[in-house]
Amino acid sequence: MRRGATKSARLRVEQLLGEAGIRIDGEEPWDLTVHREEFFPRVLAEGSLGFGDSYVDGWWDCPSIDRLVERLWRARLPERVRVWRDLPRVLRAKWFNLQHGRRAFRVGEHHYDIGNDLYGAMLDPLMIYSCGYWQGAGDLAAAQEAKLELVCRKLQLRPGLRVLDIGCGWGGAARYAAERHGVEVTGVTVSREQAELARENCRGLPVEIRLCDYREVREKFDRIFSIGMFEHAGHRNYRAYFDVVRRCLADGGIFLLHTIGSLETTTRTDPWIARRIFPNSMLPSAPQIASAAEGRLVMEDWHNFGADYDHTLLAWHANIEEAWDRLDPAKYDEPFRRMWRYYLLSCAGGFRARELQLWQIVFSKDGAPGGYRVPGIR
């Protein structure tokens, strides 16, 4: 690129960042140090994808990526740097069902099958890969147990109930519910690595783990929960998802949906997250969830504790950084480390800016007689 064009791109990027109080080579922890001048035209040409990839490539650094991204969101800059190269991906997500059939397994293969050693180093002992509940919790393990207990209490679990876990991960939630509340759990996942370790983690308990798409489940269950899976369902499948829940929920049953949420209705995901971390993912908005559930279930409770995801992501990042030298460098090289760091910290910034939400929504099949009540929750 011509020197003049690079200089012009630098001035434009500096102007945009300045609106968020971010400087190039500044002294604040959210300021950027740019190592290659090509960074500036790349960001203008590629938007979010170029910003994230250029960090992975070592073109820039920042002492506090989470604080940087928080400032970007508060200044609404990601919304202003939309590039034409995003258009094919946006149209593809809008018009095609990217989470149907074999495509439903892609996120498992791309993300969750990376390696159980990585997730074991990052997560709590139960390997819960979703937002913890930090009210009164002093560390990650306590926050995750508090979240699982919150889920179990909202579901009003009691011994002998049959429970379906849609998107069971490594089996931590199923194990907790079976051990602490005496229920029988069936968990489903699209990740082979997750399924194998989940079976090991739940050995000896009344827990069945299946490697299958949630749409294949046909039995009836007294309770259903889904923690951190709805983000992979896709907007074209939201109504079908709730159809499955209603089909599988016994009369008088309760369903709990735990999902990251978006402030606006959209059919696209951040380009960098979609390309590098969660292919075909999509964050639902409140209207999308309500519309999909309409005529299928009765909404009983809606709880937002999205600010807690900031703490959870920072705890995961600290765990990874502390454990990095013990991980296999042949599997996880320096670009991977930078990618993972950017993923965790940029998401923390998004939640801290309250651009991203975390919702727990409780539904009943046909309305809880006399109303829905869980003593001691709120």
Catalytic residues, by residue number, are 347
Q: Does the CA dihedral 33-36-41-43 come out positive or negative?
A: negative
Burial of 233 (0-12, 13-18, 19+ CB in 10 A): buried
Nearest to 363 by CA among 248, 283, 218: 248
- Rounded to 10°, the helix 140-154/307-323 angle is 140
In angstroms, rounded to a whole number, what is the distance separating the alpha carbons of residues 246 and 23?
52
Task: Compute φ and ψ for 227, nearest 5 degrees.
Answer: -115, 110
Cα–Cα distance, 93 to 183 (Å, whole number): 38
Please choose, from the candidates 49, 56, 66, 51, the residue with its C-alpha nearest in 3D space to the C-alpha of residue 333: 56
What is the residue type of 267? T
Relative to beta strand 356-364, strand 249-262 is antiparallel
The count of C-alpha atoms lying within 13 angstroms of the C-alpha of 367, restricted to the half-sphere facing its C-beta, is: 5
Report d(CA 136, CA 65) in Å as an integer. Answer: 27
8 Å CB contact between 245 and 348: no
| 179 touches 205 (CB < 8 A) | yes
Alpha helices of 57-105 — where are they, by DSSP H? 65-74, 77-80, 87-95
Q: 306 to each of 262, 311, 343, 354, 370, how far by Cα in Å?
A: 11, 10, 17, 7, 29
CB atoms within 10 A of CB 346: 25
